[in-house]
A = this chain, B = another copy of it.
């Protein structure tokens, strides 16, 4: 497939090379920051052109892949559609409806790689699930073909399912990282090294690779150990955020015990 890639952020930086490696042609890269577009185009090598203006976009691509901030998708799509007319517009956002493309093209969709990306850390796309949704059966089939060239785990999801999946990802990724951050703060206050906690963090994530989280919950709250909970809360009284989250999440874990016991 011939693809024009719009964006040069974390997602575009990982997706572009993966698409090229899967045999697709990245005709052009556009980004609001031309400097960043050039960096990405350099990674993609000969055959990929950098464009500074959306007006100069190549009209012969099979897909226009918009990997920009959620808030900028519509604006980019509008500018694009002035040049390319009725061609396949696809975004990569977990939290954006494809109806956002209404009125700009008759063929559109989403291809959402369910992973947290950074520019510097490469990821193995084969193992990254990709959620797809197309404006028609034909578009969905096209997106499935492209997504399957990247990943072994391609799933069609409705807009509602994708939003709930995004919420689940916020819990499992964004919120989890905030807990790591609070743990880091607590250690720093005691002049203890975060590095000592890293094996535990990794093991906790690895445990649920083969188990359901419900089966591997440990700690004072699930044991109902009120003595330890009270001791910890007393020590957190000078760190209001940590105190409140400790109390709240412990309550939630204790409430989940009935459910856990009934399913064991």
Q: B-facing mask of A115-128, CB < 8 A → 1, else 0?
A: 11010010100011
Minimum C-beta distance from A55 to chain B (A): 29
Is A174 interfacial (CB 8 A cutoff)?
yes
Q: Please, could you name 23 A-B residue pairs with CB atoms under 8 Å apart, sorted by A?
A: A114-B199, A131-B196, A153-B195, A153-B196, A164-B189, A164-B192, A165-B196, A169-B197, A170-B219, A170-B246, A171-B182, A172-B204, A174-B220, A174-B253, A175-B249, A176-B176, A177-B213, A177-B217, A178-B252, A183-B213, A205-B206, A241-B252, A244-B248
- Other than the known A165-B196, A175-B219, A198-B209, what 6 A-B pairs have Cβ atoms closer than 8 Å? A169-B200, A173-B203, A174-B222, A177-B213, A177-B216, A182-B252
Q: Which of A173, A222, A245 has the most CB of B within 10 A?
A: A173
Contacting A168 at CB < 8 Å: which of B70, B183, B249? B183
Minimum C-beta distance from A121 to chain B (A): 7
Q: Which of A114, A212, A219 has the most CB of B within 10 A?
A: A219
Minimum C-beta distance from A116 to chain B (A): 6
Given known A179-B179, A186-B164, A252-B178, contact A170–B208 (CB-CB < 8 A)? no
Please name all residues of chain B whose beta carbon is closer than 8 Å to the beta carbon of A246 when the two chains form the complex. Answer: 167, 170-171, 175
Q: How far is the CA of A203 from the CA of B231 in the complex (A)?
A: 33
Determine if A178 and B256 form an interchain contact, defined as CB atoms under 8 angstroms apart.
yes
Q: What's the tally of chain A residues with a CB closer than 8 Å to chain B?
A: 90
Is A202 interfacial (CB 8 A cutoff)?
yes
Residues 111-162 of A contacting B (Cβ, < 8 Å): 114-116, 118, 121, 123, 127-129, 131, 153, 155, 157, 160-161
Determine if B129 and A196 form an interchain contact, defined as CB atoms under 8 angstroms apart.
yes
Minimum C-beta distance from A235 to chain B (A): 6
Is A43 interfacial (CB 8 A cutoff)?
no
Determine if A172 and B199 form an interchain contact, defined as CB atoms under 8 angstroms apart.
no
Q: How far is the CA of A220 from the CA of B94 in the complex (A)?
A: 11
Residues 74-106 of A contacting B (Cβ, < 8 Å): 95
Is A1 interfacial (CB 8 A cutoff)?
no
Determine if B115 and A173 form an interchain contact, defined as CB atoms under 8 angstroms apart.
no
Given known A114-B199, A163-B231, A203-B116, contact A174–B221 (CB-CB < 8 A)? yes
